[in-house]
Amino acid sequence: MTAATGGLNVRSLKAQAKQLLRDHRAGSAEAGNRIRAAHPRFAAGAPPQQAHAAPFALADALLVIAREHGCESWPKLICQQDDDQEQFANEPGWVWALPPSLASPVSEEGGYSRADCMTDYDNWPWDRAFRVHVAVGTAYASRRPRVVAFDQLTNRHLLPERGSSVDIDLALFRFELPYGDVPHGTIAHYGVEVTEG
């Protein structure tokens, strides 16, 4: 972990944000002071009541935690974490054919590849969906790949498969996740899992 997070992992940072949200809802003066000091929507000299009267959601609490740890935003704080494997753990029975990387966040379009797995994706805001095309060779074709995406709060989402075609030595898969199914912002990272072989 980096010095900016003091050795804390993302799960622990999220827990801090949830506690700050609970403290805000309970009217804690300390929570109000932290919010006024770190959230750009509040002036440091404003009365604590201003911080308690304003709407304050989990995304706001995450921003406060990020700023308290010296980062401009929650995604930038997440990118400072060194342990991709802890952040992007597999479910039992699955392994990464192409793991997500905190250093390579999703933009509007692009893709990446490694060994026997290649992807490209479309992430255009006007489409209101995140689409990924996956091409795998014989090593992964029979292990039924799936795309796993992570939103801005690092929640895990499985992309439904929308079609596939298999040739002798290549399999192509298409996945799509409507943004209506992503309650916490947009997709920030993704990877391709296959069943353990």
Which pLDDT score, from 0 to 100, does residue 43 have?
Answer: 65
One domain, residues 149 and 56: no
One domain, residues 54 and 110: no
What mean pLDDT do residues 107-128 have? 76
Per-residue pLDDT tens for 62-71?
889 888 888 8
* Residues in contact with 38: Cβ distance below 8 Å, sequence separation at least 6, in sequence order: 63, 64, 67, 68
Domain membership of residue 169 as a residue range = 85-195
What mean pLDDT do residues 27-51 have? 79
Per-residue pLDDT tens for 138-171?
777 788 899 999 887 778 899 999 999 888 778 8
Asked which of 79, 102, 119 is the last residue of a domain, the reply is 79
One domain, residues 184 and 156: yes
pTM, full prediction: 0.58
One domain, residues 70 and 152: no
**Count of domains forming the chain:** 2
What mean pLDDT do residues 9-28 have? 84
What mean pLDDT do residues 60-84 have? 77
What mean pLDDT do residues 8-27 have? 82
Q: Which residues pair with 98 in a beta bridge?
A: 192
Band (6; pLDDT cuts 50, 70, 90): very low
Which pLDDT score, from 0 to 100, does residue 115 have?
Answer: 64
- What's 181's domain CATH number? 2.60.40
One domain, residues 142 and 65: no
- Rounded Cα distance between 170 and 124, Å, is 27
Which pLDDT score, from 0 to 100, does residue 162 have?
Answer: 93
One domain, residues 43 and 96: no
One domain, residues 133 and 191: yes
One domain, residues 71 and 92: no
Average pLDDT over the chain reads 80
| First-last CA distance in the chain | 31
- Rounded Cα distance between 114 and 134, Å, is 12
Least confident of 2-11, 98-107, 146-155: 2-11
